[in-house]
Amino acid sequence: MTHGSKIVSIREIDVPFWRIVLILVKWAIASIPAIIILTLLAAILGVLMTEVFALFGLGVPPQPTPQ
């Protein structure tokens, strides 16, 4: 600690209920683009991994067709 600094302790935070609801709604709306971006990245990664496995012959072997 630097000279003359004091320890501060927060005992209570008074936030109105509807203010918290508004913050949570904003977070939910802001998460939508993030979910879309993560889904696209996962799809791209899946396609790349599928192509790499197919390149090295590590894909799922073909199933015999019943006759």
Q: pTM of the full predicted structure?
A: 0.58
Specify whether the CB–CB gap between 51 and 45 falls below 8 A. Answer: no
Whether the pLDDT of residue 51 is over 60: the answer is: yes
Mean pLDDT of the chain: 90
Cα dist. 66→7, 62, 63 in Å?
A: 77, 12, 9
- pLDDT at position 1 is 56
What is the helix (H) or strand (E) element at residue 29, kind and residue range? helix 17-55
